[in-house]
Chains A and B, each alone.
Chain A
Amino acid sequence: MVVTIAGHNLSIGYPGRLVGEGLSIRVNEGEVLALLGPNGGGKTTLLKTLLGLLPPRAGNVVLAGQNLSALSHRERARLIGYVPQVHTGTFAFTVETVVLMGRTAHGSLFARPGAHDRAVTMRALERFGIAALAQRPYTEISGGERQLVLLARALAQEPRFVVLDEPTASLDFGNQGKVMREIRALADSGLGVLFTTHDPNHALRAAHRAYLLRAGACLADGPVPEVVTTERLEALYRSTVQQLRDERSGATAFLPG
């Protein structure tokens, strides 16, 4: 049986402010799901609800067959790795220390990281090609490198799922491509991946399925070629959209306006 994160009939929001209702969503192992939608449509709220950082106002989230609310933070962290939007950080921890924090859920309260934890950390750094940065302060590396460090930290959790909040938001063109390739590679190695993005082209590049969210309601949920279309995107963003096709490869891309 496929292991999933499944939200059933979710109402999402904050105390005193309902953001969305009647949302059902499923993230499968070995598959990338892209969450698309305009600003303020509820992407981040839905993401936090699925992570258990925000309790659902109604409905429930089932993680690997168990009710999310019945799992401890520790148990959740061993199943889902969370990659937040890139931040600069307050203290100048080394890159290695940051990634080592991904091992938190694998040790007891007073535990110190052991040789195994350090080996997992180094493997995660090597996977993203940033092992050379291990002793550099996190606060002094570039935005693209920080995004990879946070990805490596999520991987060091040895989770079944990775959830990313706008992983490309502050990255340059080249780094966006690199992160999209890494996301796809995570799914190819068996992990389930959910990410939010402002760019439908990132869904085309990396995702198997897409979930379109507008004003707290689901407009469409299905395989990328069926869901990410000109008509659907125009309805999603209330804006005209052009589709471009590359003659040689047959690949498509969208332009706003």
Chain B
Amino acid sequence: MTRSVLPGTLIAIAVLAAGFAVAFLVGRFPVSLADIVSVLWSKMTGGASGASPSVEVVILQVRGPRVLAAFLVGAALAVAGTAFQGLFRNPLVSPDILGASSGAALGAVLGIYFSLGVFAIQSFAFVGGLIAVTAVYMIGSAIRSRDPVLVLVLAGVVIGSLLGAGVGLVKYLADPYNQLPAMTFWLLGSLAATGVTDLIPLFGPVALGTLVLILLRFRMNVMSLPEEEARALGVAVGPLRIAIVAAATLVTSASVATAGIIGWVGLVVPHLARSLVGPDFARLLPVAAILGGGFLLFIDTIARTAAPVEIPLGILTAVIGTPFFIWLLASVSRTWS
């Protein structure tokens, strides 16, 4: 079976382009494709756009930041999921299953509870995510079992529920009039409050972590082999594993700190990307980022427009993700036995 990766890459790019178009065009305030082009063109050239000022505000101040955030968060979660799946040699893991998302959520909730600034919340989220993944991994490797994959997933579930209890405690202690509604809405996953100022603290960590992972893409192929094989092929497994976990957790925590917990994207999108271009990380990572960005643009557009009130993103992705996971479990257990 010979397979070119070009068609798959083009499909991913088409999904992203369609995602951008739909996210800009669909909404309560109608905007045409011509408006978008002329506003963006005028921004770049410095001339007048010809579109009405209110259209310009919608494109640049309201919908624009949200569209970019949806792209970045989707790409980040997909890249992190791809990296974790390779590193743990396990197509069933993702940032949420490994506890990275719930660890980052607890960190971020604590940051909100203490009324800290954006940078501190980001740092709390990163440290929380890192501690959670490390704990899950250590439990997974400490317990010797015939099925290490199952132990890893179960360790993630257990640590995740402990962290969930921690989040619950912080919510219980939070000011019920100001902090609690914000926390609850944000934890369910939402980009509704995203403005221009939120983009920098999201973009920085996502770009940095993704760059590190993409630079390491050929090493990540080797890291997806059994550990002794990777070492025998000349890879210093320990330091490289730490670098990959740190980079993947960084992009996860940045997206959690911005948009709350949006589950399943990190699990579903890497599989879709792998079915498009195969498992070679050199192709898989960029395609997963593109596809993840496009995927969340569609989801966020549905969240904004499907109902009179915003539907939380985490709920939409769960509705898609849960049946997908069950299907995956069934197909994986067939091929692994």
Partners in one complex: yes
Interface positions of A (Cβ within 8 A of B): 48, 51-53, 72-74, 76-78, 80-82, 84, 87, 90-94, 97, 101-102, 104-105, 107, 109-113, 135-137, 140, 153, 157
Decide if B278 touches A94 in the complex (CB within 8 Å).
Answer: yes
* Interface pairs A-B: 6 shortest CB-CB: A105-B234, A77-B234, A91-B279, A82-B232, A74-B234, A135-B2
Contact B224 A91 (CB under 8 A): yes
Cross-chain contact B1 with A136 (CB below 8 angstroms): yes
Q: Give A84 to B293 CA distance when docked, in angstroms.
A: 39
Are B91 and A90 touching (Cβ within 8 A)? yes
Nearest residue (CB) in A for B279 is A91
Choose one: A53, A94, A104, A105; the contact of B228 (CB below 8 Å).
Answer: A53
Does any Cβ of A come within 8 Å of B86's Cβ? yes
Q: A97 to B280, Cβ gap below 8 A?
A: yes
Q: Which residues 222-273 in B have Cβ within 8 Å of A in the complex?
A: 222, 224-226, 228-229, 231-237
Q: Which of B3, B91, B218, B279 contacts A135 (CB 8 A)?
A: B3
Min CB distance, B285 to chain A, in Å? Answer: 13
Q: Determine whether the beta carbon of B231 is less than 8 Å from that of A53.
A: yes
Complex CA–CA separation, A73 to B1 (angstroms): 35
One of A91, A92, A102, A109 near B233 (C-beta < 8 A): A102
Contact, CB under 8 Å: B226 / A105: no
| Residues of the A chain whose Cβ atoms lie less than 8 Å from the Cβ of B233 | 77, 82, 101-102, 104-105, 153, 157
A90→B219 contact, CB < 8 A: no
B residues near A93, Cβ cutoff 8 Å: 221, 278-280
Q: Mark B77-90, 1 if CB is under 8 A from A, else 0.
A: 00000000010011
User: Which residues on the B side are within 8 Å of A112 (C-beta)?
Assistant: 218, 282
Partner of B234, one of A76, A87, A92, A110: A76
Q: Does B215 contact A (CB under 8 A)?
A: yes
Contact sample, A vs B, 8 pairs, CB 8 Å cutoff:
A52-B231, A53-B232, A73-B237, A84-B229, A91-B274, A92-B279, A94-B278, A101-B225
Q: Is chain B's interface secondary structure helix, strand, loop, or mixed overall?
A: loop
Contact across chains for A73 and B235 when beta carbons are under 8 A apart: yes
CB-based contact B90/A90 at 8 Å: yes
Does A91 contact B234, Cβ atoms closer than 8 Å? Answer: no
Shortest Cβ gap from A90 to chain B (Å): 5
A53-B231, A105-B234 known, 6 other contacts, Cβ within 8 Å = A48-B228, A73-B237, A74-B234, A91-B91, A104-B234, A105-B233
Shortest A25–chain B CB gap in Å is 18
Q: Whole-angstrom distance from the CB of B284 to the nearest CB of chain A?
A: 9
Least CB distance from B167 to A in Å reads: 32
Q: How far, in angstroms, from A87 to B216 measured CA to CA in the complex?
A: 25
Of the residues B1, B221, B231, contact of A101 by C-beta under 8 Å: B221
- The answer for the CA separation of A101 and B90 in the assembled complex, in Å, is 19
Determine whether the beta carbon of B215 is less than 8 Å from that of A110. Answer: yes
**Chain B residues whose C-beta falls within 8 Å of the C-beta of A74 in the assembled complex:** 234, 236
A73 to B280, CA, bound (A): 23
From 67 to 108 in chain B, residues with beta carbon under 8 angstroms from any chain A beta carbon are 86, 89-91
B:172-224 near A, CB below 8 Å: 215-216, 218-219, 221-222, 224
Partner of B231, one of A73, A94, A107, A136: A73
Q: Are B1 and A135 in contact (CB under 8 A)?
A: yes
B1 touches A104 (CB 8 A): no
Name B216's contact: one of A51, A52, A73, A109 (CB within 8 Å): A109
A5 to B221 Cα, complex, angstroms:
29
Complex contacts, A72 vs chain B, CB 8 Å:
236
**Residues on the B chain within 8 Å of A153, using CB:** 233
Chain B residues 1 to 48 lying within 8 A of chain A, measured CB to CB, are 1-3
Within 8 A of A (CB), among B274-302: 274, 278-280, 282
A residues within 8 A CB of B229? 82, 84
Interface pair B234/A94, CB less than 8 Å apart: no
**Nearest B-chain residue to A106, judged by Cβ:** B234
Please, which residues of chain A bring their CB within 8 A of the CB of B89? 90-91
Contacts of B235 in A (CB 8 A): 73, 104
Interface hits, B111-165 → A, CB 8 Å = none
Chain A residues contacting B86 (CB-CB under 8 Å) are 91
Once the chains are docked, how many angstroms separate the CA of A190 from the CA of B20? 59
- Tell me whether B228 and A84 are in contact (CB under 8 A): yes
Residue of B nearest to A82 (CB): B232
Q: Is the CB of A97 within 8 A of B221?
A: yes
A93 to B235, CA, bound (A): 18
Residue of B nearest to A72 (CB): B236
A157 to B231, CA, bound (A): 13
Decide yes or no: A109 and B219 within 8 Å by CB, A87-B226, A90-B224, A104-B233 being known contacts: yes
* Chain A contacts for B1, CB-based, 8 A: 135-137, 140
A101-B222 in contact (CB<8A): yes
Closest to A96 in B: B280
B contact residues around A102 at 8 Å (CB): 233
CA distance A78 to B218 in the complex (A): 18
Question: Measured between alpha carbons, how far is A221 from B264 in the docked complex, in Å?
Answer: 57
Contact partners of A51 in chain B: CB under 8 A: 232
What residues of A have a CB within 8 angstroms of the CB of B219 in the complex?
Answer: 104, 109
A82 to B228, CA, bound (A): 10
Chain A: CB-nearest residue to B233 = A104
Residues of A within 8 A of B222 (CB): 101, 104
Q: Which residues of B contact A77 (CB under 8 A)?
A: 232-234
Shortest beta-carbon distance from B121 to chain A in Å: 31
